[in-house]
Amino acid sequence: MRDLYPEIEPLETGMLDVGDGQHIYWEVSGNREGKPVVFLHGGPGGGTTPTHRRLFDPAKYRIVLFDQRGCGFSIPHASEPGADLSANTTWHLIADMERLRAHLGIDRWQVFGGSWGSALALAYAETHPERVTELVLRGIFTLRRQELDWFYEGGASAVFPDLWEDFLAPVPLGERAHLIEAYGRLLAHPDPAVHQPAAIAWSRWESSTITLLPQAETIARFTSPEYATAFARIENHYFRHGGWWEDGQLIRDVGRIRHIPAVIVQGRYDMCTPMMTAWDLHRAWPEAELHIIDDAGHAFDEPGILAALIGATDRFAETGGAFGAVDDDADLGTTDDDDDDDLEDEERTDLDEVDRDDDVDVDDDDDDDDEDDDEDDEVDEVEDDDEVDDEVNDEVDEVDDDEDDDEDSSADDGAVIADAEDRRKADAARSGAE
């Protein structure tokens, strides 16, 4: 059975200004000249840990980790009073990944994601397939209504009735018909006496059920007040909005990435992201290699899952892909220039739509359908408007120039990095299943 690679320290770290007042923590470890891979953590809101570096051969990979908006060492942190999550959506995270890729001078990279990270990996790859060499996905989660209902609205209570009672406890009896919505109100409450117990209950439910056998250290980390508050707020924010995509969209659009080599690893007894989603993805994407681990739940560090994941990264380390820095505008041969522009336009349009309306409720299906139609119309208008196209192209050019901008703001970054390092020292021993 495979084990993690030895512990390593980062070669470089930084805080990338991604706009909207947000700075994301990133690090690079392994081999500076190795095959680029980006690790996408779970949650959303779970953050990275030093253990995540150890999923990759440090002699062969240039290992990129980053903490998504609002969590880990990224700032502002979602646990802070008055935390504003309006600029924290899937499409913002995809734009952040592109900024980070350009900042690091990487042309293409392997994308590795588990749990929520698998959803973000699929969304990123379907938006930017020309930037992905391979996909390694674990514990498949796509935020479909049936997936959310299973774990947060009562389905999994059939297996964990004792733990479910603790999850229900903070929610008033009259508000238990729609628990994700009820928790949203509790977590947004300004009084710590209200939002903190709710955050801990939310995080305890997840951390107690993601492994085949309970892991006390995982539960303790998830239920520490600062971590729990950020984790629960960000997760709930994303779940209430259905990830800002149509129900089933990630599986529906898999045709965009069927040419990309991929491995899917799924625990048979995963209670958090049950196997039905991995199976649906497999049926839509038969070219992807599916590994079902019969003696595992959800967590990446369960022995069978870990062996399959490291087996995949070892194998991909020996195959193709882009190594080191390449011209960011190189013709990769996978999509033509018009397709690239269309994908970038689509992403920018999605960001504009999110900024204009952050109050979409996944429970209101009729409103969602109307809004989807409106968004489609607006996308058509953008594609037909040359002036808007020019603005979009300017924004994309700005992303590619981020590295120069970062050098100009190094003094500000120094203070931001010091802030993050304070949090890192306080949480030096952290590790986690997500």
Q: Which residues are catalytic?
A: 115, 270, 298
The residue written with tokens 């967590």 in the block is 299
DSSP lists the bridge partners of residue 66 as 26
**Residues near 384 by beta carbon (within 8 Å), at least 6 away in sequence:** none
56 and 64 in contact (C-beta within 8 Å)?
no
CA-to-CA separations, 228 to 46, 59, 162, in angstroms, rounded = 9, 35, 20
CA angle 105, 90, 232 (to 5 degrees): 120
Residue 375, both tokens? 């968004």
Neighbouring C-alpha atoms within 13 Å toward the C-beta of 118:
26
DSSP 6: P
CA distance 28 to 14: 9
- CA 162 to the chain's CA centroid: 30
Cβ–Cβ under 8 Å, residues 129 and 334: yes
- What lies within 8 Å, CB to CB, of 174 at 6+ separation is none
Spatial distance between the Cα atoms of 170 and 168, rounded to a whole number of angstroms: 6
Q: Is the dihedral of CA 98, 99, 101, 102 positive or negative?
A: positive
* AA letter at 22: Q
**Angstrom distance (rounded) from CA 67 to CA 72:** 5
**Cα separation, 243 vs 120, whole angstroms:** 9
Peptide bond connecting 44 to the previous residue in cis, omega within 30 degrees of 0 = yes
